[in-house]
């Protein structure tokens, strides 16, 4: 946005977010943007009084919400769904024309439950679809016409796939509110030119038992059973009592300017430097103001990272840390190419997935990059459908996906040397020699041949993963994993944690932020 503002004519920007971030707005205002927020709650325009809402479009309907208290274990939600599948049957039988969505945290759980519910609902003539990060485009498109969708994504649920019953997991206050917000958006849906109206809207929230205790337990309970609440009040209680993730407020100053330095350098290219000379200096000034740092200081850091990488790898070019900091979406060094044999549509079988998720949840067979790309080209030619191949260019390994494990298989990273000096550095660094320890995986040797020579941008902390996640309030899918060194490889619990890819920058932000305040990283 800053680049556009200072190299192009002025434009207007529109952000659509249910949770506007105050830090972002403050930085935009600091850069000279005039911001107008549309926030009905703050402006007291969130009305539930029909006379006051004449002429307004209703965006939410009344919902009957049931909290299901579960032990916070890996398969508790999946087990509950199997044991209580009669509730979904009853929904379709009592309210014909219903559309139901189940949103879970685990792709593997979705893959296991989809055939279960297909078999259950088939005698009623009802169809089941899936929508996850590993679902092919054909499967995702087809799921929009089914009666029940099971997935991990909420992109289509409540928008293209209109629902009147939702069963969902969540990991924190934000994901709870976001997922529940997908229900009650529409009066019904069109089928064969006719409007099928929903009779009622209901939801089951599969939540850890501590949240139910906080919401309903004791004399000072926040909510009452069978109570009726408006959304702002209810959302506030969820925000107060559910798990809150860290806001990573130090990221702007610590890492935000790295991409700005890259853009500033590109504006100095000899082919365009005269055209953008004035804009370039204005861009530099506002970046330093917004990110509260000097680009010369950032340049010194990136130069040091490049020198460290050259010494470690022997490569004359490249700067993995800077590349991760400048990546818009993030490109994991652990990304693998998958040929999904469980996928019906041949074109959709070529996918990417991160190694940690593969190790825990998938039954795979190693494949060569040559065979993978040959199959991709042959499939594209035979089906006359293009298959993008650029996303596979930097994959660590290539594999065939045969099935999804019934039980998650444990694994951890290992390092052949001493990790203590690396953890004591308290900084982002590139590490070589990392391998996988997983006795039940017969392919681990081949994976390690590829992995141990790859430089990983990482951050190592001398604490177990569970403790780091809890103390730093990390999001559910934050890329941090257990790792042992030569002194702890046989320990039942790995004493170190290692963050990978862009999660490294966020973890470094927390370490830098808390230590710069004069306290330990653990004072949260």
Confidence of residue 247 (pLDDT cuts 50, 70, 90): confident
Helix locations, 124-183, DSSP H: 137-143, 173-180
Residue with tokens 């969820």: 238
Q: Is the pLDDT of residue 412 over 60?
A: yes
Asked if residues 349 and 136 have their Cβ atoms less than 8 Å apart, the reply is: yes
Distance, CA of 524 to CA of 148 (rounded, Å): 41
Q: Strand 362-367 vs strand 398-404: parallel, antiparallel, or unpaired?
A: antiparallel
Residue with tokens 């818009």: 328
In the prediction, which pLDDT does 523 show?
38
Q: Strand 350-354 vs strand 335-340: parallel, antiparallel, or unpaired?
A: antiparallel
Distance, CA of 141 to CA of 161 (rounded, Å): 10
Using a 10 angstrom Cβ sphere, with 0-12 exposed, 13-18 middle and 19 or more buried, the burial of residue 7 is middle
Residue with tokens 């950032």: 298
Cα–Cα distances in angstroms (integers) from residue 371 to residues 173, 377, 379, in the given order = 45, 10, 12
138-170 per-position pLDDT tens digit:
888 888 889 999 999 777 787 788 999 999 999
Distance, CA of 262 to CA of 272 (rounded, Å): 15
- CATH fit for domain 64-241, picks 2.30.36.70, 3.20.20.70, 3.30.420.40, 3.40.50.300: 3.40.50.300
Lowest mean pLDDT among 269-278, 322-331, 341-350: 322-331
Asked if residues 162 and 186 have their Cβ atoms less than 8 Å apart, the reply is: yes
In the prediction, which pLDDT does 519 show?
44
Q: Is the pLDDT of residue 387 over 50?
A: yes
Rg for the chain (alpha carbons), in Å? Answer: 25
In the prediction, which pLDDT does 276 show?
87
74-86 per-position pLDDT tens digit:
899 999 999 999 9
Going from N- to C-terminal start, the domains of the chain cover 2-34+249-293, 64-241, 335-404, 412-516
Q: Is the pLDDT of residue 272 over 60?
A: yes
Distance, CA of 238 to CA of 250 (rounded, Å): 25
Tokens in use for 479?
A: 């890329």
Strand segments (E) across 318-361: 335-340, 350-354
In the prediction, which pLDDT does 517 show?
52
Structural element, H or E, at residue 86: helix 85-94
Asked if residues 410 and 439 have their Cβ atoms less than 8 Å apart, the reply is: no
């Amino acid at each position: 946005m800053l680049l556009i503002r200072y190299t192009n004519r002025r434009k207007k920007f529109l952000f659509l977010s249910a949770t506007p971030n105050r830090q972002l707005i403050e930085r935009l205002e600091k850069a000279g943007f005039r911001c107008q927020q549309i926030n009905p709650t703050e402006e007291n325009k969130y009305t539930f009084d029909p006379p006051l809402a004449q002429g307004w479009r209703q965006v939410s309907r009344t919902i009957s919400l049931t909290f299901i208290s579960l032990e916070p274990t890996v398969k508790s939600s999946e087990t509950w769904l199997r044991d209580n599948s009669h509730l979904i049957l009853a929904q379709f039988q009592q309210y014909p024309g219903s559309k139901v969505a189940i949103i879970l945290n685990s792709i593997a759980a979705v893959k296991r439950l989809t055939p279960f519910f297909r078999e259950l609902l088939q005698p009623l003539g009802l169809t089941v679809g899936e929508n996850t990060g590993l679902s092919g485009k054909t499967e995702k498109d087809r799921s929009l016409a089914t009666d029940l969708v099971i997935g991990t994504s909420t992109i289509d649920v409540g928008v293209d796939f209109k629902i009147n019953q939702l069963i969902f997991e969540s990991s924190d206050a934000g994901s709870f509110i976001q997922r529940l917000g997908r229900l009650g958006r529409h009066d019904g849906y069109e089928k064969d030119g006719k409007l099928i109206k929903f009779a009622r809207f209901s939801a089951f929230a599969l939540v850890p038992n501590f949240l139910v205790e906080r919401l309903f337990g004791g004399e000072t309970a926040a909510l009452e059973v069978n109570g009726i609440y408006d959304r702002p009040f209810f959302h506030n209680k969820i925000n107060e009592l559910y798990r809150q993730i860290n806001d990573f407020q130090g990221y702007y100053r610590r890492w935000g300017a790295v991409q700005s330095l890259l853009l500033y350098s590109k504006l100095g290219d000899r082919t365009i430097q005269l055209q953008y000379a004035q804009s370039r200096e204005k861009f530099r000034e506002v970046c330093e103001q917004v990110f509260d740092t000097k680009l010369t200081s950032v340049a010194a850091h990136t130069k040091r990272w490049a020198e460290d990488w050259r010494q470690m790898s022997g490569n004359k070019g490249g700067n993995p840390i800077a590349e991760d900091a400048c990546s818009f979406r993030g490109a994991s060094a652990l990304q693998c190419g998958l040929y999904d044999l469980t996928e019906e549509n041949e074109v959709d079988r070529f996918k990417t997935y991160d190694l940690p998720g593969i190790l825990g949840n998938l039954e795979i067979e190693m494949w060569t990059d040559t065979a993978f790309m040959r199959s991709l080209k042959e499939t594209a030619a035979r089906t006359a459908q293009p298959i993008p191949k650029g996303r596979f260019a930097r994959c660590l390994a290539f594999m065939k996906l045969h099935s999804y494990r019934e039980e998650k298989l444990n694994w951890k990273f290992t390092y052949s040397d001493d990790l203590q000096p690396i953890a004591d550095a308290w900084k982002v660094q590139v590490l070589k020699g990392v391998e996988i320890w997983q006795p039940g995986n017969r392919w681990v040797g081949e994976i390690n041949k590829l992995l141990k020579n790859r430089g990983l941008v990482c951050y190592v902390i001398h604490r177990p993963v569970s403790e780091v996640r809890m103390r730093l309030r990390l999001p559910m899918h934050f890329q941090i994993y257990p790792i042992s060194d030569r002194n702890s490889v046989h320990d039942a619990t790995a004493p170190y944690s290692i963050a990978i890819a862009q999660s490294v920058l966020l973890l470094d932000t927390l370490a830098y932020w808390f230590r710069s305040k004069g306290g330990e990283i653990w004072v949260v």
